[in-house]
Structure 1
Amino acid sequence: MRPTDETLAEHPLLQQAYERLERETGLRPQIERAPARGSTARAGDRSAFLRFAPEHTNRCFEIHVLPRLTPAELGLTANRLDPEWPALIISEYVNPKMADRLRDMDIGFLDLAGNAYINAPPVYVFIKGNKRTAMEYPDPRPAAHAASQGAGLRIVFALLCAPHLVSSTYREIAEAAGVSLGSASRTLHALRDQGFLLETGRRTRRLHNYPTLIERWTLAYPEQLRPKTFLGRYRAADPEWWQDAALEPYRAVWGGEVAAARLTGYLVPERISIHTRMPPGPLLATFGLRKDPTGNIELHKSFWPPECNTDAPDLAPRLLVYAELLASGHERNIETARMLYEQGLAGHLEPD
């Protein structure tokens, strides 16, 4: 949930988190709706800011309340940060791995367990490893709906990456996405009810509010769809095997870091993501890939229609590459994901 600007300063999660910080450290956070007079805050900014008592430090943090902090949520947030203001994420719980990642990115955080990172000289706080407490804060997430579950995500992806499907029949959409007719019907009704699908005439539709729909798909994909396509984790004897490997004979494409490297020239891939439409045996044998639970190669079953827009026959659709980069949570991948977004996703970000 992303609280509205008007309610952010009074958000209950924020109140509980800074009360816990005071108990842990003695620091006394103060919440403001705008930075101090004389600052260069954005005109009309209604965001909430946190400042510590002047006897400690006068540094002001822009607050981002993210109750359930996932790598994808971190990636989306990191790409929107205002470089003028240090950020402070407020979350229910920040696990040790995420705590280290946030510190490395110099993004502050507080959680309900008392974990925190604050870099505001002369104040420095880094607490990690406190166990998750019993939920004191009501779960703000809306109940799952058809468009954010596995079959629904396949349909949304197909509509975003193969726009001509939007005005097809429910049966044609279901067949293209590889889901049941009932799933297609429920998903399209959910999209219409949420304002993402507009009826513009008899059997004529168009998607609306592309950026928000893409954001929702990106956040749901790692948990609701990606695990269902997972085929295994592997390792190759030659770490550079992928540079000259041809995947097309195996009806497979590059995703994640390899695809992003070829699209932007910005990454040196460390983790390999491959999506295939056929049993993986021949591909594994040809390239000498061996099963390894700690390997850097992930194999997934392709889930999108062949007619989806792609930049090359051996690359996954950009939207999937973008989502995989953000789901990794790694800073370099997050930067590359921003580049892909700015270049356009799902073929093009169509205007409303």
Structure 2
Amino acid sequence: MAVERLGELGLRGEVLAVEHAESAERHRADAVLRLTAGSGATRTYGVEIKPRLTPELATSLNLSTRFPALLVTTYISEPVAERLRALGIDYVDTAGNAHLAWDDVLVDVRGRRNPAVPRSRTSPSGAGAFGRAGLRVVFVLLSWPDMAAQPYRVLAGASGASLGTVKAVIDELTGAGYLYTGAEGRRLARGGELLDHWSEAYSINLHAALALGEFSVDDLSWWPDSESEMRSLGIQVGGEAGAGLIDPHLRPASLTLYAEQLPARFIGRHRLVRAEDRGNVHIRERFWHRPEPDAWTVPSPLIYADLLASGDPRQREHGDRIRTSDDRLIRLGRS
């Protein structure tokens, strides 16, 4: 079906002959496809077939083929498509959405709907729980499940969201079966599944918006000895450095810090230099307002989500490890 869609876009596809099968297997492609444009320009792709693609999976794709990769799947939403374009990965889905670029060829088709989901069933209410403001509320529920029983005003204060957003999130999660009302009030259910959903949406809708600054430093060996200083400045550790504090076997190559604003004195003391692109010290906004006086690290659901949002397969492996070693994440998985 996807190859037929390419034909509709003016590209002629040819699955290469049997002698290329061994090459495809060796280079982890599902098939080898040669595309020819009307101008005569050709490109040979290693085809990677994914039955379903979420923003989380798009963030962590590791397509290692001999040929340029062409991702083929049933449907690619615009948030996923945006992530794939940023990563330079060409794609096509069975709805006809596609992005392919080489030489003088550019195919860019967006906005075609998933044929498996009728228009009437697409609900805008998802933005209530997993839009930028709603994600803050869900984070509070994942990090402190006992907060589910609290009044809306308490949840609003802890998350920094409005009362209207809190109500929309509670209604959405209740309707989806992630919250239920028992003898003791509202309770969180299927916490592990909710964490998966939240982490996907976080990587697309909130992660980038929290950046306060990117910095570089040659030597990161000092940070584990800076606990007292960070506590005094209201700085908490997240990302793979936070994962390293959960699991000492992990060796972090970057430092993610959360603070209410850029800590100028801390930056100067440790000679952090502004990075033009992405450095190895990421300073991000501390977006929640529930105090945890004894916590040096951010809550582990955020550490987990940061690892997935990094797009680094090594950090994703760290995420899998702390899901089985961190008490908070284990309890969520059992709820």
Q: How high is the TM-score relative to the length of structure 2?
A: 0.69
Q: For the residues of structure 1 that align with 2:131 and 2:113, how far apart are their CA atoms?
A: 22
Q: For the residues of structure 1 that align with 2:105 and 2:135, how far apart are their CA atoms?
A: 35
Q: Does 1:169 align with 2:151?
A: yes
Q: Who is 1:27 aligned against?
A: 15
Gaps of 5+ in 1: 1-14, 30-49, 53-60, 79-87, 101-108, 117-126
Instruction: Report the CA distance between 1:261 and its aligned residue.
Output: 2.2
CA deviations 1:63-96 (Å, max 9, x no partner) are: 4222xx64x2246788xxxxxxxxx762645437
SS of 1:298's partner is strand
Instruction: Report the CA distance between 1:51 and its aligned residue.
Output: 8.0
Asked if 2 retains the 8 angstrom alpha-carbon contact of 1:24 and 1:114, the reply is no
Q: For the residues of structure 2 that align with 1:154 and 1:136, how far apart are their CA atoms?
A: 28
Residues 1:335 and 1:110: Cα distance change in structure 2 (over 3 Å): farther
Instruction: Report the CA distance between 1:259 and its aligned residue.
Output: 1.2
Q: Does 1:138 align with 2:126?
A: no
Q: Who is 2:282 aligned against?
A: 298
Pairing 1:15-54 to 2, within 5 Å after superposition: 15-17=1-3, 19-20=5-6, 24-27=12-15
Give the letter for the 2:254 counterpart.
R
Pairing 1:91-240 to 2, within 5 Å after superposition: 92=76, 93=81, 94-95=84-85, 97=87, 99=89, 113=98, 131-135=106-110, 137-138=112-113, 143=124, 144-201=126-183, 204-236=185-217, 238-240=219-221
Residues 1:204 and 1:129: Cα distance change in structure 2 (over 3 Å): farther
Q: Does 1:251 align with 2:241?
A: no
Residues 1:133 and 1:250: Cα distance change in structure 2 (over 3 Å): same
Q: For the residues of structure 1 that align with 2:304 and 2:189, how far apart are their CA atoms?
A: 20
- One of 286, 289, 302 as aligned partner of 2:269: 286
Q: For the residues of structure 1 that align with 2:86 and 2:155, how far apart are their CA atoms?
A: 42
Residues 1:349 and 1:331: Cα distance change in structure 2 (over 3 Å): same
- One of 230, 239, 242 as aligned partner of 2:223: 242
Q: For the residues of structure 2 that align with 1:322 and 1:129, how far apart are their CA atoms?
A: 41
Residues 1:265 and 1:19: Cα distance change in structure 2 (over 3 Å): farther
Asked if 2 retains the 8 angstrom alpha-carbon contact of 1:197 and 1:208, the reply is yes
Range moving further from structure 2, 165-174 or 257-266: 257-266
Aligned residues: 280
Asked if 2 retains the 8 angstrom alpha-carbon contact of 1:99 and 1:128, the reply is no
SS of 1:26's partner is strand
Residues 1:337 and 1:24: Cα distance change in structure 2 (over 3 Å): farther
CA deviations 1:250-304 (Å, max 9, x no partner) are: 1111111111223223443233211013552222222222322322221111123
Q: For the residues of structure 1 that align with 2:224 and 2:154, how far apart are their CA atoms?
A: 37
Q: For the residues of structure 1 that align with 2:249 and 2:260, how far apart are their CA atoms?
A: 28
Pairing 1:301-312 to 2, within 5 Å after superposition: 301-307=285-291
Residues 1:199 and 1:131: Cα distance change in structure 2 (over 3 Å): farther
Q: Does 1:332 align with 2:320?
A: no
Asked if 2 retains the 8 angstrom alpha-carbon contact of 1:235 and 1:297, the reply is yes
Q: For the residues of structure 2 that align with 1:21 and 1:334, how far apart are their CA atoms?
A: 36
Identity in percent: 24
Q: For the residues of structure 2 that align with 1:250 and 1:129, how far apart are their CA atoms?
A: 53
Asked if 1 retains the 8 angstrom alpha-carbon contact of 2:216 and 2:281, the reply is yes
Instruction: Report the CA distance between 1:319 and its aligned residue.
Output: 0.9
CA deviations 1:182-230 (Å, max 9, x no partner) are: 22122111211222111114x7011122222111110111232223322
Q: Who is 2:39 aligned against?
A: none
Say what the alpha-carbon RMSD is for the aligned residues.
Answer: 3.8
SS of 1:234's partner is strand
Q: For the residues of structure 2 that align with 1:299 and 1:348, how far apart are their CA atoms?
A: 29
Instruction: Report the CA distance between 1:239 and its aligned residue.
Output: 4.3
Instruction: Report the CA distance between 1:172 and its aligned residue.
Output: 1.2
SS of 2:171's partner is helix
Q: How high is the TM-score relative to the length of structure 1?
A: 0.66
Q: For the residues of structure 2 that align with 1:216 and 1:332, how far apart are their CA atoms?
A: 21
SS of 1:133's partner is strand
Q: For the residues of structure 1 that align with 2:314 and 2:104, how far apart are their CA atoms?
A: 25
Instruction: Report the CA distance between 1:349 and its aligned residue.
Output: 1.6
Q: For the residues of structure 2 that align with 1:296 and 1:21, how far apart are their CA atoms?
A: 44
Q: For the residues of structure 2 that align with 1:129 and 1:198, how far apart are their CA atoms?
A: 56
Residues 1:161 and 1:242: Cα distance change in structure 2 (over 3 Å): same
Asked if 2 retains the 8 angstrom alpha-carbon contact of 1:115 and 1:128, the reply is no
SS of 2:213's partner is strand
- One of 304, 313, 325 as aligned partner of 1:322: 304
